[in-house]
Structure 1
Amino acid sequence: MQEVNGKQAQFIVNKKQHHLLFVNSPFCGTCKVAKRMLHYIEDTLEDEKFYELNATLAPEFMQEFNITSVPCLLVVKHGEAVERLYTFNSVPYLLKEMGPYLVKERTQQT
């Protein structure tokens, strides 16, 4: 997982392809559990798929993308929020919900 700041996140979301941005807070216990799940997914896929943004350091980004709570997995394309996921039930749940974005990215890279 590649950590980015607010300006880097803004640059990333304006790119053409889908990007998965994990927005969290270092003070949030649920965020830590969600982060472990996302690390597991990256390890399983053997590829970094997610960018990580510390919400406490990027209030303008939070407001611009209407992120109401953390943890949030934000899917963006062309600067637009395509999907927001606030529930991190389990790794299989995340794979089911984010599968189309994970598979699409993987086929674009090969």
Structure 2
Amino acid sequence: MREWKPTNWKKEWTFTSAPFALFIHTPLCGTCQAARRMLSVATEIVPEISMMSANINIMPDLAQQFQIESVPCLLIKSKDGTSSKQYRFPSVTELVERLRIERDR
């Protein structure tokens, strides 16, 4: 999972083809670390979804634009350009199902 840089995230969000997922986290969050491990397994199962990550501590404008309420957060950009957020990371199975739904839309 490649980390987004604060300087170019707006350009990447605009020009990256969908479906696309952005994992928003903070480095010291234990729940974020567990969610990252689950997402790394899920993206191995559904490799068609591009996955990036963003440290919200150094990207406050990202939090404002997408109204991120807490971390970890999975921000998914659909083919039609709309975005949705997911804050729950209960299992790899549920994440795989969510990524497959976005892939097949």
Query: Does the TM-score normalized on the shorter chain lie above 0.5?
Result: yes
Distance (Å, rounded) in 2 between the aligned partners of 1:89 and 1:100: 17
SS of 2:32's equivalent?
Answer: helix
Distance 1:77 1:103, change over 3 A: closer
Distance (Å, rounded) in 2 between the aligned partners of 1:5 and 1:51: 10
Deviation at 1:46, TM superposition (A): 5.1
The alignment of Structure 1 onto Structure 2 pairs a total of residues equal to 103
1:17 aligned onto 2:50:
no
Identity %: 28
User: TM-score, normalised to structure 2's length?
Assistant: 0.83
Q: Unaligned stretches of 5+ in structure 2?
A: none
The amino acid of 2:102's aligned partner reads Y
Q: Unaligned stretches of 5+ in structure 1?
A: 105-110
1:4 counterpart residue number: 4
Distance (Å, rounded) in 2 between the aligned partners of 1:83 and 1:46: 19
Distance (Å, rounded) in 2 between the aligned partners of 1:38 and 1:86: 13
Deviation at 1:11, TM superposition (A): 1.4
1:43 counterpart residue number: 44
Deviation at 1:102, TM superposition (A): 3.6
The ranges of structure 1 where at least 4 consecutive aligned residues each deviate by more than 4 angstroms after the TM superposition are none
Asked if structure 1 preserves the Cα contact closer than 8 Å seen for 2:23 and 2:51, the reply is yes
The amino acid of 1:85's aligned partner reads Q
1:71 aligned onto 2:72:
yes
Deviation at 1:99, TM superposition (A): 1.6
User: TM-score, normalised to structure 1's length?
Assistant: 0.80
Distance (Å, rounded) in 2 between the aligned partners of 1:77 and 1:97: 12
Alpha-carbon RMSD? 2.2
Point out the structure with the larger helix share: 1
Asked if structure 2 preserves the Cα contact closer than 8 Å seen for 1:14 and 1:77, the reply is no
Deviation at 1:56, TM superposition (A): 0.4
